[in-house]
Structure 1
Amino acid sequence: MDILVIGGGGREHAIVWALKQSPQAGTIYCAPGNAGIGQLAECVPIGVFEFDRLTAFAEEKQVGLVVVGPDDPLAVGIVDAFEAKAIPVFGPRKNAAEIEGSKTFMKDLLHKYNIPTAAYRKFDSYDEARSYLLEQKIPIVIKADGLAAGKGVTVAYSMEEAEKALSDMMVDKVFGDAGTQVVIEEFLEGQEMSILSFVDGETVRPMVAAQDHKPVFDGDQGPNTGGMGTYSPLPHIADSIIEEAIETIIKPTAKAMVAEGRPFTGVLFAGLMISPDGKPKTVEFNARFGDPETQVVLPRLKSDLLSIFLAAVNGNLADVEMEWKDEAAVCVVLASGGYPGSYPKGVPIHGLDQVDDAIVFHAGTAVNEAGEWVTNGGRVLGVVGLGRDIAAARAKAYEQAERITFAGKQNRTDIAAKALV
């Protein structure tokens, strides 16, 4: 079966890598892909919003399945476009993808169905939002309602920081229309946890839990990024807490979406906070594989990913058995200097051929006219170490990551350190 994967980052590289291992997989196309993905798949120069061209390509190549990676095209209806052409596609329709595309929709849904989440208020008036903010306790969380490449959330530890975040979003429009409406919510303390689940209506098949590191610098300092590294499993979080999150948050949310006439098919990503008393609450939902969580979750999957995708698309997810490997995975992201702000592109990358004991997923790379690997994004590479436990996987990831160099390279040095305490 030929497959079309849509997207061009580290998440899509991991998806293509996993699909390539399926005995059912034929030619894998990736639109637009990147230079690293091009080593495994045939990259097609079509943008993720060019729905007419994408559907025409899928029809021409008679692909048996389309897999959508990024959030933005899901939010504007890419799945609906493929379904209109009767092309099998893995991902949620536009009305279901709104669980990520609108923070206010997500919060209102959870409130309506009594699903645990932080207390919140939503605003479309800057003056009203600011008046409310000035009455709140610090720290506090300010969220742009719409999609903002994973950067539309500020955890403010001073009122000055909170006011600036609000003004940036609603007045200066640093996230464009995403900041037309905002959510102001209480700050939740505790351990973060991500659980990605394959979902087919009310059927929920959870993947292994992971933990991301959003701030750019060690010790969770600095501005939020799309993710600087991840690890799985989470030995410091009890299985009973993970199970409680699945039963009290993820499964009820899937049922709520069905009840709302928005049945969800695809990957439902729950960003959770485990409070000091061990109770999980919802921080966010995403409507697709997380990036870089996917880079540690899929290498731990023993089952055939393509079979799981097809089962979900065909409404048979409940019949699929999923197996996971015991080994741990740690992903260290190597980023361009200046990220998540402005950064250069085209910087030569050295040492990729020296990596011999890790999986390297390309997030932002290209090959220049001289045939050299060069940077082409903020997050450049994800280096994944696998081992018998977190300590072994972490040591391997960092050892191999040090072999890769480029001017301005930055990475956190404390990925998965919380799991070693």
Structure 2
Amino acid sequence: MNAFQAPKGTYDLLPPDSAAFLAVRTAIAAPLRTAGYGYVETPAFEHVELFARGVGESTDIVTKEMYAFSTKGGTDLALRPEGTASVLRAALEANLHKAGNLPVKLWYSGSYYRYERPQKGRYRQFSQVGAEAIGAEDPALDAELIILADQAYRSLGLREFRILLNSLGDKECRPVYREALQGFLRGLDLDEETLRRAEINPLRVLDDKRADVQKQLVGAPLLRDYLCDACKAYHEEVRALLTAAGVAFEDDAKLVRGLDYYTRTTFEFVHDGLGSQSAVGGGGRYDGLSEMIGGPALPSVGWALGVDRTVLALEAEGVVLDVPSATDVYAVPLGEEARRVLFGVVTRLREEGVATDFSYGGKGLKGAMKNANRSGARYALVAGERDLAEGVLQLKDMESGEQRPVALDAVVETVKAALA
């Protein structure tokens, strides 16, 4: 056993599996780039207060799962448990909302950290790609983001995911519903911690996954019955835009999501092939978050999609991604002169965008060809003293086993043509 192992709840991402993760990140980002979203990167840690205010004091994320610590200078920091609060903080700090072109559209990719009980699909460090549209209240924006996520998943070949949709109302109608829900919850047989949560944010209780709690929640008042006319109209427009775009969704009156900042539109992407960790991504509108963290009123909407969970969903559906080979050509030199010549050819091929590897360490033909096989290369370039004397290299097709001489001065063009 090694002296050190990865910390509990984390994992190492190594080839060849890492190629699928890269492909998923690229596929999720692709539709965002075509819709005007610019890339943003924020620090892995922020001031604790940003998440306490933004994510919510009563959430499990803040109360139980956040990695918080004090620096030697006495500053209270936390590893980021989610992306939205950090991205909004960065946009506000840079005054992007004052540039005059709202919404500010940003996308990001990175690792997030929560101290959770590790299980398949739930890790203490996990990877997400997210998108935020900051500074505009428009149902078309909510619909746009859901459509872009749907496009990303479909481009990967995922088919068996569902989109759950709900509205959480706004500051006009939410308080009326909150009061009705609190009245209902006070009459239930709930433990002290859950009752405390019900007083701070009763919507959190609806999200409780415990069967005994869910059983008691049957008959709880539903938010959709309390929506004001403006929220109803907004939600209907989001639904109509999704329907017109051919994006299927399911109305879920109990969907609240795990963060306190959501208003109006909330949605989740779920995949039934993942067992209990069925959510592969989700998001919603968070019109009051900017003010919560000390900014101006900037109605916004966004989502985050889990890269780890998406990879698991692809596996559950048996989807094998068409990942480009790490190596197209493997160069095998036999002798010192051949090493020098072939190394120059390898460099030129790489400059031309051909993924090329080289037999290092002076292996013999047999050992080098074994490595060429393992590399997954489509072709091998072999050169010995006799080949060089004749001004040629041997180009071997690794699938058919056929081999032919190629003039040294034409090798780059020949290889590119063969791969094309």
TM-score, normalised by the number of residues in structure 1: 0.21
Decide which structure has greater helix share: 2
TM-score, normalised by the number of residues in structure 2: 0.21
Report the structure number with the largest CA radius of gyration.
Answer: 2
